C-alpha cells in the first residue's frame, strides 16, 4: 500500500465532486433543511387532542368539571350535537375521544357516591389513547380535590427533580438525534453514488488496470468523502447551536474523537453498498430503503431502543448510528463523558472494519463480476 496512491485517489475524487457545483450546494443545503424540518417538527408530547363532551347533567357542577378537563392544553374542545351518537364524532375523525357525563353526575357525587362517566377513545392512535386515559384520570382526582371531595393532600408526596434537562425541552432530545441521522444519511449516499458512478461509467476499469490496490482505492475514496462529511458535520453542529441553542455539556473530547470515527463508518456504509451493487438504481434502493429507514427507526432516534422486543433488539446493535446518537445525546445534554459512553468507540470501530472488509472482499479481485 502506498500513501501516495491513496492521496492521489482522494484528490481526484474531491476535484470530481467539486466540479458539480449544484451537488456541492445540495450536499450542504439538504442536510441543513432536514435539520430544520426534523428538529422543529418531531415532538412526542401530545397537545390539543380533539375531545367531544356530551353533558347530560348540565349543572354548574358538571360544567366546572368540563372546564377542568379542557383546562390543560392536552385536550381541545370540539362541538358536537347532544342528540347524535358520540361515537359518530370519532368515526368521522372529528374527535379522538368522547366523554359522556350521566344525568345523575352531580347528585351522586354530592351524596358521596361513585359516579361513572363513559369515555370512548379512538384506539387506532395508540399513543394518544394512553395520553387521553391518563389525562382524564388525573383530571378526576384534581377535580375531586378542588371540590373538597377528597383530602387536599395525600399523605405521601413526591418531590421530583428532572436531571440534565430540567425544563423537559423536547428539542434537546431530538436535535442531537437529528444531527446523527443527517450525518449517516447524506455522507453514505454521496459515497455510494461515487462508488457506483465509477462502475457505471466504466472508469473503474482504468483503476483495475492500474497498479492501485483495492485497499488504496477504498481508502482514497473514503478519505475524500470523510473530509466532505467532516465539513458537513461542523456546519450542521454550528447551525444546531445557533438555531436550537444546543450547547456542549461537559467534556468535549468524546465528541471530537467519536465524530470522525462515526463519519468514517457512514462513508464505509456508502462504499460497501456501492461496491456490492451493480447499478445505480439498485444502489440507491439499498441505501435508501435499508439505510434511511433503519437508521431512523431502529436507532432510538424517536422511540427508545428499550421498546424493541428481544430478537429485534439485537438487530439494533448493528446500526452504527445507534451508538453515535448515544454519544451526541451525552455530549450535548447529559455530559457524563468517557465513563458513560466508552462502549461507543469499540462498537463503531468494529462495525466500520466489518464494512471495510465487506467492500474490500468485493473489490480485491479487481475485475468485473458480471
Window 194 to 213, contacts with other proteins (CB under 8 A)? 197
| Number of Cβ within a 10 Å radius of residue 253 | 11
Residue 239 CB, shortest distance to other proteins, in Å, is: 16
Residue with Cβ nearer other proteins (7 or 288): 288
Q: 324 with 344: CB under 8 angstroms?
A: yes
240 contributes a contact to other proteins by CB under 8 A: no
Residue 1 CB, shortest distance to other proteins, in Å, is: 29
Residue with Cβ nearer other proteins (4 or 202): 202
Residue with Cβ nearer other proteins (48 or 367): 48
Q: What angle do CA 79, 65, 151 make, to 5 degrees?
A: 165
Instruction: Out of 185, 348, 355, 363, point to the residue binding other proteins (CB under 8 A).
Output: 185
Whole-angstrom distance, CA of residue 19 vs CA of residue 221: 16
Whole-angstrom distance, CA of residue 254 vs CA of residue 326: 11
> Looking only at residues 18 through 47 of this chain, which bind other proteins when binding is defined by CB under 8 A?
20, 22-23, 26-27, 30, 33-34, 37-38, 40-47
What is the side-by-side order of every strand in the sheet holding 97-101? 75-78, 49-55, 97-101
Residue with Cβ nearer other proteins (6 or 132): 132
Residue 202 CB, shortest distance to other proteins, in Å, is: 13
Residue 367 CB, shortest distance to other proteins, in Å, is: 19
Residue 53 CB burial class (10 angstroms; 0-12, 13-18, ≥19): buried
SS3 string, 306-337, reads: HHCCHHHHHHHCCCHHHHHHHHHHHHHHHCCC
Whole-angstrom distance, CA of residue 47 vs CA of residue 123: 17
Instruction: Out of 122, 198, 216, 232, point to the residue binding other proteins (CB under 8 A).
Output: 122
361 contributes a contact to other proteins by CB under 8 A: no
129 contributes a contact to other proteins by CB under 8 A: yes
> What does the longest C-alpha to C-alpha distance in the chain come to?
94
57: cell is: 347533567
Q: Give me Rg for the CA atoms of the chain.
A: 28
Residue with Cβ nearer other proteins (156 or 242): 156
Residue 334 CB, shortest distance to other proteins, in Å, is: 5
Number of residues that bind other proteins (CB under 8 A): 122
Contact string (CB under 8 A) for other proteins, positions 63-82, x = contact: --x-----------------
Residue with Cβ nearer other proteins (3 or 127): 127
Listed residue (60, 39, 57, 61) closest to 118, CA to CA = 57
Contact string (CB under 8 A) for other proteins, positions 287-326, x = contact: -xxx-xxx-xxx---xxx-xxxx--x--xx---------x
Secondary structure letter of residue 305 according to DSSP: G
Amino acid at each position: 500500500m502506498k500513501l501516495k496512491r491513496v492521496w492521489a485517489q482522494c484528490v481526484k475524487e474531491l476535484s470530481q465532486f467539486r466540479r458539480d457545483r449544484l451537488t456541492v450546494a445540495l450536499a450542504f443545503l439538504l442536510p441543513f433543511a432536514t435539520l430544520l424540518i426534523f428538529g422543529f417538527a418531531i415532538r412526542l408530547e401530545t397537545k390539543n387532542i380533539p375531545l367531544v363532551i356530551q353533558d347530560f347533567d348540565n349543572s354548574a357542577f358538571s360544567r366546572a368539571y368540563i372546564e377542568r378537563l379542557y383546562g390543560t392544553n392536552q385536550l381541545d374542545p370540539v362541538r358536537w350535537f347532544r342528540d347524535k351518537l358520540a361515537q359518530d364524532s370519532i368515526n368521522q375523525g372529528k374527535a379522538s375521544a368522547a366523554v359522556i357525563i350521566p344525568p345523575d353526575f352531580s347528585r351522586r357525587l354530592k351524596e358521596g357516591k361513585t359516579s361513572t362517566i363513559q369515555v370512548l377513545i379512538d384506539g387506532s392512535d395508540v399513543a394518544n389513547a394512553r395520553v387521553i386515559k391518563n389525562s382524564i384520570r388525573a383530571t378526576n382526582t384534581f377535580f375531586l380535590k378542588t371540590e373538597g371531595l377528597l383530602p387536599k393532600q395525600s399523605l405521601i408526596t413526591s418531590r421530583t427533580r428532572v436531571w440534565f434537562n430540567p425544563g423537559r425541552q423536547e428539542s434537546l432530545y431530538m436535535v442531537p438525534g437529528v444531527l446523527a441521522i443527517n450525518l449517516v444519511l447524506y455522507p453514505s449516499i454521496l459515497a455510494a453514488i461515487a462508488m457506483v458512478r465509477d462502475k457505471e461509467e466504466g472508469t473503474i476499469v482504468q483503476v483495475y488496470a492500474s497498479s492501485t490496490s483495492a485497499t488504496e482505492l477504498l481508502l482514497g475514496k473514503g478519505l475524500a468523502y470523510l473530509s466532505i462529511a467532516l465539513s458537513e458535520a461542523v456546519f450542521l453542529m454550528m447551525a444546531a447551536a445557533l438555531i436550537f441553542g444546543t450547547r456542549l455539556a461537559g467534556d468535549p473530547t468524546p465528541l471530537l474523537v467519536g465524530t470522525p470515527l462515526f463519519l468514517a463508518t457512514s462513508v464505509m456504509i456508502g462504499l460497501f453498498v456501492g461496491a456490492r451493487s451493480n447499478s445505480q438504481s439498485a444502489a440507491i434502493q439499498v441505501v435508501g430503503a435499508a439505510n434511511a429507514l433503519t437508521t431512523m427507526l431502529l436507532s432510538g432516534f424517536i422511540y427508545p431502543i428499550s421498546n424493541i422486543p428481544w430478537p429485534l433488539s439485537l438487530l439494533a446493535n448493528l446500526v452504527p448510528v445507534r451508538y453515535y446518537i448515544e454519544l451526541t445525546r451525552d455530549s450535548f445534554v447529559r455530559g457524563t463523558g468517557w465513563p458513560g459512553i466508552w462502549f461507543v468507540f469499540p462498537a463503531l470501530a468494529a462495525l466500520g472494519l466489518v464494512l471495510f472488509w465487506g467492500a474490500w472482499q468485493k473489490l480485491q479481485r479487481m475485475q468485473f463480476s458480471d
